[in-house]
Amino acid sequence: MKQSIFLLRSNKLSLFNSVQIYFYGIFISLGVFLGYFFSKKRAKKNGIKEEILDSVYLLLIPFSVLGARIYHVLSWLSYYLLFPREVFSIRNGGLGIFGSIIFGILALFLFCKIKKQDFILILDLISPSILLSQAIGRVGNFFNQEAFGPPTDLPWKFYVSPDKRPIEFISFSYFHPTFFYEAILCILAFLIILVLEKNLKPAKGFSSGSYLFSYGLIRFFTEFLRFDTWKIFGFKMAQVISVMFVGIGLYLIKSGMKGQKLIK
Mean pLDDT of the chain: 89
How many residues are present in the chain? 264
Pairing between strand 174-175 and 158-159? antiparallel
* Calpha distance 137→143 (Å, rounded): 11
Question: How many Å from the N-terminal Cα to the C-terminal Cα in the chain?
Answer: 59
Query: What is the identity of the amino acid at 133?
Result: S
Domain ranges of the chain: 12-258
Given a cut of 80, whether residue 237 has pLDDT beyond it is: yes
Q: Which residues of 236-247 are buried (b: 16+ CB within 10 A; e: fewer)?
A: bbbbbbbeebbe
Determine the pLDDT at residue 93: 63
* Residues 81 and 91: beta-carbon distance below 8 Å: no
Residue 12 — very low, low, confident or very high, per pLDDT cuts 50/70/90?
low
pTM: 0.89
Residue partners of 142: CB distance under 8 A and separation at least 6: 6, 8, 158, 177, 179, 180
Determine the pLDDT at residue 257: 79
User: What are the residues facing 6 on neighbouring strands?
Assistant: 158
Given a cut of 50, whether residue 2 has pLDDT beyond it is: no
